């Protein structure tokens, strides 16, 4: 591999981000240990704002899944979940997280000094991304005997109708009595408005960071984005996340002013469709960076921008935000979205990651790459792998394809 560690350019805001993430996990750990605050586990694109407004500290198993993948613990832990009946073909976030629970090991120990994941008082899922999250949380419901609540979001949506929104709003509202009971706090609509407004400011800040990659050379890569989206995932609705993206945004603006690209001598601009291969982030970043290729945009990172949170009614805002995002939409919407992104970010090539255990994040399976390549004249490759299960990933085949795409450009 023609690469060196120098290919990856350090973002100075990484330090403040790590401090923020450490504070977030330590607060959760302290709350779970002492009972001073209630802990809710929530799906990443779920009703986190509602939970925060009710006074919960919110923990996200999907974030833990990503940490299990990037630390490469996942491949050791997935077999434990397989052994108790969770198929190797289902979500490897789920299987690695369940394996982590069964084996009583977590990357949070090495990264943040936590002895264990913070135990929940309530589990709240949203099926907008997939059905697996429901089964994932149901495992912990059975293990820990804590309440399990959920939002059922329709999938493959074209346009979101008022009926869809009304149904989702009703589901959010129906959760409130249970959440009041678990939290011991009364629901306060003004507090929810504050949290949703903060969440919107966070999403705006993250969106500005992502849009900075429209510049040539791009000041950040997809691989940077997968790390720096952490606060937008776990601290949406907390003002510290808003402040963090102001810091990161300034650094991106400074890079643009100074003409500094995330990849030296940026020659090629790529779009990454699908999940990252978490255990191979560095390898992919180095391989592409060494060849002057910058992944300037991705569905994965760019999905975390929720414009509808600006709605006057916070319930409507949440309902729309979490039902209008890319993964919930139909094929026609997704195709238009990718086409627009390719044009906005001046993309030269597409990398589709077909993640074996994550069909909902693998958008190459119904002919879209061929259709877009024909329409846009932009070449593509499909890498067969997985988000967490490296048993499903062939390094040689993936790297050869990435190199060959760059050669073709």
Partner 1 sequence: MAQASPSKADESPPRALYCGVDVGASATKVVLIDRDARVVGRSVRPSGVDYRATARRCLEEAREAGKTDLPVGRTVSTGYGRTNVEFADRSVTEIHCHGVACFHLVGGPATLVDIGGQDNKVIRIDGTGRRVDFKMNRKCAAGTGAFLEEIAVRLDLPVGALDALAASTQEAARLSSFCTVFAKTEILAHLRAGVKVESIVRGAFVSVVTRVLEMAPLEGRVVLTGGVVAYNPTIAALLSVKIGTEVVVPPYAQFSGALGAALLAREPAA
Residues that bind partner 1 (CB under 8 A): 1-2, 373, 379-382, 384, 392, 394, 396-397, 400-401, 403-404, 407-408
Q: Exposure pattern of 229-251 as b/e (b: 16+ CB <10 Å)?
A: bbbbbbbbbbeebbbbbeebbeb
Nearest-approach distance from CB 350 to partner 1, in angstroms: 11
- Closer of 209 and 382 to partner 1 (Cβ): 382
Closer Cβ to partner 1, 2 or 5, answer by number? 2
- Residue number, 314 or 385, with CB nearest to partner 1: 385
Give one DSSP letter per residue of 356-400, joined into a string: TT-GGG-TTTTSHHHHHHHHH---EEEEEE-SS-GGG--HHHHHH
Closer residue to partner 1 (CB): 39 or 355 = 355
CA dihedral 173, 318, 58, 223 (to 10 degrees): 160
Helix/strand/coil percent split, the chain, to 5: 55, 10, 30
CA count, 13 A, side-chain hemisphere, 266:
24
Question: Comparing C-alpha atoms, which of 238, 327, 192 is closest to residue 60?
Answer: 238
> Among 328, 323, 309, which residue's Cα sits nearest to residue 49?
309
Pick 229 or 382: Cβ nearer partner 1: 382
Residue number with CB closer to partner 1 (95 or 364)? 364
Q: How far is the CB of 409 from partner 1 (least distance, A)?
A: 10
Q: From the CB of 385, what's the least distance to partner 1, in Å?
A: 9
Least distance in Å: CB of 366 to partner 1? Answer: 16
One DSSP character per residue, 88-152 reads TTS-HHHHHHHHHHHHT--HHHHHH--SSPPPPSEEEEETTS-SHHHHHHHHHHHHH---EEEE-
Dig out the tokens for 23 from the structure.
Answer: 């504070």
Pairing of strands 268-273, 349-355: parallel
Please state the closest distance from residue 152 (CB atom) to partner 1, in A: 34
The count of C-alpha atoms lying within 13 angstroms of the C-alpha of 238, restricted to the half-sphere facing its C-beta, is 22
- C-alpha closest to that of 27 among 122, 118, 121, 124: 118
10 contacts 251 by C-beta, under 8 angstroms: no
Residue whose CB is less far from partner 1, 86 or 393: 393
* Nearest to partner 1 of 220, 287 (CB atom): 287
Least spacing, CB of residue 100 vs partner 1, in Å: 26
């Amino acid at each position: 591999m023609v690469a060196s560690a120098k290919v990856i350019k350090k973002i100075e805001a990484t330090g403040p981000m790590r401090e923020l993430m450490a504070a977030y996990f330590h607060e959760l750990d302290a709350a779970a240990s002492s009972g001073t605050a209630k802990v809710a586990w929530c799906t990443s694109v779920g009703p986190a704002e509602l939970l925060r407004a009710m006074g919960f500290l919110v923990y996200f198993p999907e974030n833990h899944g990503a940490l299990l993948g990037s630390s490469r613990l996942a491949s050791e832990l997935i077999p434990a979940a397989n052994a108790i009946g969770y198929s190797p073909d289902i979500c490897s976030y789920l299987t690695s997280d369940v394996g982590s629970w069964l084996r009583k090991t977590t990357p949070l120990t090495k990264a943040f000094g936590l002895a264990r994941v913070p135990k929940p008082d309530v589990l709240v899922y949203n099926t907008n991304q997939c059905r697996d999250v429901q089964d994932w949380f149901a495992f912990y419901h059975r293990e820990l005997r804590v309440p399990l609540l959920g939002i059922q979001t329709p999938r493959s949506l074209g346009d979101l109708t008022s009926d869809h929104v009304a149904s989702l709003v009703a589901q959010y509202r129906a959760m409130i009595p249970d959440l009041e009971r678990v939290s011991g706090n009364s629901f306060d609509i003004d507090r929810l408005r504050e949290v949703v407004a903060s969440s919107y400011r966070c999403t705006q800040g993250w969106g500005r960071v992502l849009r900075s990659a429209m510049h040539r050379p791009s000041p950040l890569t997809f691989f940077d984005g997968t790390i720096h989206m952490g606060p937008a995932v776990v601290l949406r609705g907390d003002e510290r996340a808003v402040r963090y993206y102001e810091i990161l945004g300034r650094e991106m603006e400074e890079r643009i002013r100074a003409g500094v690209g995330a990849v030296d001598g940026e020659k090629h601009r790529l779009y990454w469709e699908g999940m990252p291969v978490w255990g191979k982030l560095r390898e992919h970043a180095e391989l592409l960076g060494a060849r002057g290729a910058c992944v300037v945009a991705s569905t994965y990172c760019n999905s975390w921008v929720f414009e509808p949170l600006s709605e006057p009614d916070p319930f409507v805002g949440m309902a729309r935000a979490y039902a209008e995002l890319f993964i919930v939409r139909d094929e026609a919407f997704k195709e238009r979205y990718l086409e627009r992104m390719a044009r906005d970010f001046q993309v030269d090539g597409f990398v589709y990651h077909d993640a074996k255990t994550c069909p909902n994040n693998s958008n190459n399976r119904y002919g879209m790459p061929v259709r877009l390549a024909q329409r846009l004249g932009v070449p593509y490759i499909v890498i067969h792998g997985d988000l967490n299960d490296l048993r499903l990933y062939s390094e040689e085949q993936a790297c050869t394809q990435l190199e060959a795409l760059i050669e073709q450009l």
